[in-house]
Chain A
Amino acid sequence: MNKFSWYEATSKVEAQREANSTVSETIQPDADPEAAVFKASGIDLLDLMKEGLSKPAKLVSIRNIPGMDEVSYNKEKGLRLGANVTLAGITANPQIKKNYLALHQAASHAATPPIRNMATLAGNLVQRTHCWYFRSKELVCFRKGSSTCFAHVGENENHAIMSYGYCVSIHSSSLAIALTAFDAIVEITDKNGKIKLVPMKEFFVLPSVDRTRETILKPAELITAVILPEPKTHTVSYYIKMGSRRSQDWPMAEVAVVAGLSGEKCKTANVVLGAAAPVPFISKAAIDAITGKTINETTATAAGEAAMQIAVPLSKNGYKIPVFKTIIKRAILSLGKPPENVIDWALPDRIH
């Protein structure tokens, strides 16, 4: 890693005064050599630094700012998760498991147990894409300032099948998939201490809008919490991720479904796909396919089919289409119950 100095912030104000850049900016060719960036757990940041992609001059630790790892509940505002709550903290939280099952599932399938003990909610949201061209020090890709997306004509088996422009990377946060499905809101404290509430679906940025970053965060803007609105009565959810392995793996495809049920009937629904697009992808087609319908094999299958209508796979990732169709169907059919007769993807609920 490059040499850097270290600043341990004890308040948001202090942290925001010290930081002058974002991790994404440090990856660009015009990176400020004096860049100071936030570090919470820093799993992704250290990974980028060890590869030599990011070379900030200063790390500003926000890990120990009081209050940032708190979970609170308020019936008007819903569940407020502090930005520094760990993935293990989310997994272990019984309220989340009971009321936001898909988030619990997404958190317990992400990374590895020791990483879940370290990694924070906000860090998971702002991690950069794991596109392997982007992650290679030797290759300067489109997102890093060149005019070439290597994946477009290269090894694109892990890449996007929809909603991409020239860059075909996929977004890497599994938590974002579940949070988007729950209509979560990102609480951002800007440089002046002003709080902005941004719906999760507006938080991420497509590369066709700005290829240099994946979120709307500007320098010194700090995610302070993520707020989950209180679920309406009879809201159920389910998340399925498929990787090449059952142990730790990046998803080949993942889906979170949140639905308001009235008996067998689906009143409201949200279907969000991960590992499909450069940002969490809200499948309007899948939502329409089940909203107002009875949940059964036919409607669930139709939702999967509908969701994939707009998919335009690349040379090596056509397999994602049947996988998505299947996991969308299964997630919908699993709402409120565990899946049957499929290879058991679910891991135990208790994470130590």
Chain B
Amino acid sequence: MKYKRKKPKTEKTGRISRRGFLKGAGITAAGTVLAGSGVLKLQAQTEEKDKTLGPDAVNIKIKVNGHVRQLSIEPRTTLADALRKELQLTGVKVGCNRGACSACTVWIDGIPVLSCMTLAVEVGDKEVTTIEGLAKDDRLNPVQEAFMEHDATQCGFCTSGMIMTATHLLEHNPSPTEKDVKVALSGNFCRCGTHPKVFDAILDAARKM
């Protein structure tokens, strides 16, 4: 019941790693472009203030599926919208837009998160992976293979989120129990009721990996 009496220890438990945030972000909000004489002085005075982005569109860079892309988006643009509308990565699905169905699950630095509840502007230089980024060199990952093999899709609208969740599970737990699978998927909504085949597919993919 006691801690090991060691010296105070610091550890990081936040699962999303911190990196130089917004390094790739655009420098100023639209309408604050500075020109002419006195720019330097003005910049010095407003250096802190210039960190405010928006509310109009700003240029950001975002690393998605291994490629750095430049986008012009308003701060209110969700990551899901930016991926779908701006980058045409429509494998990212929005089911409820409120974080309750997990269809929009993507990875940020390898961790499954909800792209509908993430702002594009806050991704910074972290790496985003979507369903489109799972297959390497046109080779499907074992979870995708297993979903096909086990008929683990019906309408297919929840499939991307399910596969992103499941792939992450297997990368961190190569031999999950059925309960582990259910925990991992406990936020993924499927109205078609494909769950039993999804469980089978994931457990089978684990065996084959």
Considering only CB atoms and an 8 Å cut-off, how many residues of chain A contact the other chain? Answer: 62
- For window 35-64 of chain B, which residues contact chain A by CB distance below 8 Å? 48, 51-56, 58
Whether the pair B184, A113 counts as a contact (CB closer than 8 A) is yes
Indicate which residue in B13, B78, B97 contacts A92 across the interface (CB closer than 8 Å).
B13
Query: Known: A59-B75, A86-B14. Contact between A118 and B117, CB under 8 A?
Result: yes
**Chain B residue with minimal CB distance to A64?**
B21
- A63 to B3 CA separation, bound complex (whole angstroms): 29
In this assembly, does A89 line the interface, its C-beta being within 8 Å of a C-beta of chain B? yes
Known: A7-B51, A235-B1, A352-B168. A89 touches B13 (CB 8 A): yes
Q: How far is the CB of B109 from chain A (nearest CB, A)?
A: 10
Cβ of A75 within 8 Å of any chain B Cβ, yes or no, is yes
Interface contact A5-B53, CB-CB below 8 Å: yes
**Contacts A5-B54, A59-B75, A117-B112 given: A89-B14 contact, CB under 8 Å?**
yes
Indicate whether A69 sits within 8 Å of B173 (C-beta atoms), given known contacts A5-B29, A117-B112: no
In the complex, chain A residues whose CB is within 8 Å of the CB of B177: 348
Are A7 and B53 within 8 A (Cβ)?
Answer: yes
User: Which residues of B have CB within 8 Å of A113?
Assistant: 112, 165, 183-184, 186-187
User: Do A84 and B75 touch (CB < 8 A)?
Assistant: no
Complex: A350 Cα to B8 Cα, angstroms: 25
Minimum CB–CB distance from A341 to chain B (whole Å) comes to 19
Chain A neighbourhood of B21, CB < 8 A? 8, 10, 63-64
Q: Using A50-B98, A89-B15 as known contacts, say yes or no to A1 and B76 having CB atoms under 8 A apart.
A: yes
Say how far B159's CB is from chain A's closest CB, in angstroms. 16
CB atoms of A42 and B117 under 8 A apart: yes
**Chain B min CB distance to A161 (Å):** 26
A165 in contact (CB, < 8 A): no
Complex: chain A residue closest to B111, CB-CB: A117
CA distance A223 to B173 in the complex (A): 34
Q: Pick from A69, A95, A350: contact of B3, CB below 8 A.
A: A95
In the complex, A2 has a CB within 8 A of chain B: yes
Q: In this assembly, does B12 line the interface, its C-beta being within 8 Å of a C-beta of chain A? A: yes
Interchain CB contact (< 8 A) of A3 among B2, B15, B55, B98: B55
- A72 adjacent to B9 (CB under 8 Å): yes
Query: Is B121 part of the binding interface, using a Cβ–Cβ cutoff of 8 Å?
Result: yes
Asked if A115 and B16 make an inter-chain contact with CB atoms under 8 angstroms apart, the answer reads no
How many residues in B have their beta carbons less than 8 Å from beta carbons of A? Answer: 59
Q: Which residues 102-127 in B have Cβ within 8 Å of A in the complex? A: 102, 105, 111-114, 117-119, 121-122, 124
Contact flag A7-B13 (CB < 8 Å), given A114-B187, A352-B172: no
- Closest chain B residue to A18 by CB distance? B52
A43 contacts partner chain B, Cβ-Cβ < 8 Å: yes
Closest to B74 in A: A3
Residue from A3, A63, A98, A352 whose CB has the most chain B CB atoms within 10 Å? A352
In the bound complex, how far is the Cα of B18 from the Cα of A63, in angstroms?
Answer: 9
Determine whether B22 belongs to the interface, using a CB cutoff of 8 Å to chain A. Answer: yes
Is there a chain B Cβ closer than 8 Å to A345's Cβ?
Answer: no
A114–B165 touching, CB < 8 Å:
yes
Does chain B have a CB within 8 A of A4?
A: yes
CB distance from B118 to the nearest CB of A (A): 7
Closest residue of chain B to A14 (Cβ to Cβ) is B48
B10 at interface (Cβ–Cβ under 8 A)?
Answer: yes
- Docked pose: A2 CA to B54 CA in angstroms: 12
Q: Given the complex of chains A and B, what is the CA–CA distance between A82 and B129 in angstroms?
A: 28
Residues on B with beta carbons closer than 8 Å to the beta carbon of A74: 8
The distance in angstroms between the C-alpha atoms of A92 and B16, with both chains bound, is 13
Q: A70 interface residue, CB < 8 Å from B?
A: yes
Contacts of B186 in A (CB 8 A): 112-113, 247-248, 347
A4 and B55 within 8 A (CB): yes
In the complex, residue of chain A having the shortest beta-carbon distance to the beta carbon of B186: A247
B83, CB-defined interface residue at 8 Å: no
Q: How many Å from the CB of A71 to the closest CB on chain B?
A: 5
Knowing A113-B165, A113-B184, the reply to whether A69 touches B12 (Cβ < 8 A) is yes
Q: Quick check: B180 and A70 within 8 Å, CB to CB? A: no
A63's contact among B13, B98, B112, B122, by CB below 8 Å, is which?
A: B122
Within 8 Å CB of A10, what residues of B?
A: 21
Q: Is the CB of A350 within 8 A of B180?
A: yes
CB distance from B50 to the nearest CB of A (A): 10
Q: List 27 A-B contacts (CB under 8 A).
A: A3-B55, A4-B54, A5-B53, A5-B55, A6-B52, A6-B54, A8-B53, A42-B119, A47-B98, A47-B99, A58-B52, A61-B122, A64-B21, A66-B18, A71-B10, A71-B12, A72-B11, A86-B15, A89-B14, A98-B1, A113-B184, A113-B186, A114-B105, A117-B16, A234-B1, A247-B187, A248-B100
Q: Top 7 closest A-B pairs, CB basis?
A: A112-B187, A69-B14, A89-B13, A6-B75, A247-B186, A3-B55, A5-B54
